[in-house]
Amino acid sequence: MALQNFGVIGLAVMGENLALNVERNGFSVAVYNRTTEKTTAFMENRAQGKNVKPAHSLEEFVASLERPRKILLMVKAGKPVDAVIEQLKPLLEPGDMIIDGGNSLYEDTDRRVADLEAAGLRFIGMGVSGGEEGALNGPSLMPGGTREAYEAIEPIVTKIAAQVDDGPCVTYIGPKGAGHYVKMVHNGIEYGDMQLIAEAYDLLKNVLGLTNEQLHDVFAEWDETEELDSFLIEITANIFKKKDDMGDGFLIDKILDAAGQKGTGRWTVVSSLELGVPIPTITAAVNARVMSAYKDERMAAAKELAGPGGKFDGNTQGFINKVRDALYCSKMCSYAQGMALLGTASQEFEYNLDLGEIARIWKGGCIIKAGFLNKIKRAFDENPNLANLLLAPEFKQTILDRQAAWREVLMAANGLGIPVPAFSASLDYFDSYRRERLPQNLTQAQRDYFGAHTYERTDKSRGEFFHAEWF
């Protein structure tokens, strides 16, 4: 009996799509799902006539795979991953490998890599981006963990990943939970991008009064520009065209303004606080989702707390262009924050990340794919130790050229009472980062005043601490 090349456990849509992607690329696949009905339905429909073998027990599944076994888990992050690993462990043999393709917390992946390596097995935590479509036709893959395990799956993952001008959108990210860490930060950046686009939409709709057709045109035009050409801008343009099939008008106007989240954006913020890397744009994006979910409270507050009112009286096309510039400048700051977080995590956790290569594998397949990642890749290829993306010549000049427009947009928004938390967080990041002197001399004075926490002096060496008798 011929053994299958690759196994997939978990047949929700991402698992199904990845299994079909692997099969389409010439590898035989075994599949297993906890509920047999799901497996049967898959075999009778999407997997019909394909080189996919169903298994009805884990024993049967494991026995159907060639060695070393390569088993992709596509189950819910958290306890279900541990539960399946525990069931699989006694069935596996040395050298076999488990690949977790869910959005697992990197710390869980650190632990699982260590546990399985200690048991003679191998473990890969693999970030998979691109949603259902990407999983089927070419995702961006971020595998980290046991190095030899990556070498064993490389022929498969390089085929199933999205392909861009400079190769497949996959690379070995690093040891331990590096793959899931990078995917987590990818998602933090995704939250930032989505919030910045939402703020641009708010401004175009509520300052300028653009209709959905006009919004479609603006975003479609931005998608043609070198700076903003991206998957998220493209789908945004498409969203404004979609009519509501349950009633009149456009669907976008019927969707409740209360955003959900599954946790990866929040984890990014938690990690940034733990590592001491400011990521205010991404933090603002997470908070904006949280605030949006207070729908009932906001509806009540809207009756009590009036804003400034007033109308925009400038040039419409001029303002659209300024919003575009503000969006681009804010986006640069958001990516600068995400990459800085990766840089620090790389040192702190000894991930040895190649930031240029990470930007490259995000160029295709994933939610944040964008032409702009070429520039990020170039910036880190030219200087792998770049302290901050904003200092790379290409970014520096663009932001300096556009900062006036960016500031004008924020002044207009503030004047009219339109919240722009991520645009503002980005500008504050830029203004704080570029300033030689910040007011934290006062913070230090206060700390020393009430708690003798000491301070350094501008006229003495760094690392020399002083205390004053304040009373």
Query: Which residues contact ligand 6PG by CB under 6 A?
Result: 103, 129-131, 187, 190, 260-262, 264-265, 366-367
Least Å distance, CB 289 to ligand 6PG, is: 8
Nearest approach in angstroms of CB 259 to ligand 6PG is 8
Kindly tell me which of 65 and 124 has the beta carbon lying closer to ligand 6PG: 124
Catalytic residue among 23, 190, 227, 234: 190
Nearer to ligand 6PG, 139 or 145 (CB): 139
Strand 122-129 to 97-100 pairing? parallel
CB of 129 to ligand 6PG, least distance (A): 3
Nearest residue (CB) to ligand 6PG, 28 versus 230: 230
DSSP 65: B
Structural tokens at position 303: 């009756």
CB of 139 to ligand 6PG, least distance (A): 7
For residues 367 and 405, which CB has a smaller minimum distance to ligand 6PG in the complex?
367
Name the residue with the smallest CB distance to ligand 6PG: 129
Shortest approach of ligand 6PG to residue 74 CB, angstroms?
12
Residue with tokens 């995917």: 183
Q: Which is nearer to ligand 6PG, 54 or 179 (CB)?
A: 179
Residue 271 buriedness (CB in 10 A; 0-12 / 13-18 / 19+): buried
> Is 295 marked active-site?
no
Are the CB atoms for 186 and 141 separated by under 8 Å? no
Which DSSP helix (H) or strand (E) runs through 123? strand 122-129
Pick 288 or 320: Cβ nearer ligand 6PG: 288
Cis bond leading into 94, ω under 30°?
Answer: no
> Whole-angstrom Cα distance, residue 206 to residue 416?
10
Distance of alpha carbon 275 from alpha carbon 80, whole angstroms? 28
Q: Do residues 337 and 130 touch, judged by C-beta distance below 8 A?
A: no
The catalytic residue among 53, 70, 183, 363 is: 183
Residues 316 and 217: beta-carbon distance below 8 Å: no
- Closest to ligand 6PG by CB, 88 or 170: 170
Report in angstroms how near the CB of residue 267 gets to ligand 6PG at its nearest: 10
Please check whether residue 372 is in contact with residue 230, taking contact to mean a CB–CB distance below 8 angstroms. yes
Spatial distance between the Cα atoms of 428 and 417, rounded to a whole number of angstroms: 18
**Can 464 be counted among the known catalytic residues?**
no
First to last CA, the chain: 86
Q: Are strands 140-145 and 122-129 parallel, antiparallel or unpaired?
A: antiparallel
- CA distance linking residue 317 with residue 90, whole number of Å: 65
Q: CB–CB of 430/390 below 8 Å?
A: yes
Instruction: Tell me how far, at minimum, the Cβ of 240 lies from ligand 6PG, in Å.
Output: 20
User: What span, in angstroms and rounded, lies between the C-alpha atoms of 80 and 61?
Assistant: 18
Q: Which active-site residues does the annotation give? A: 183, 190
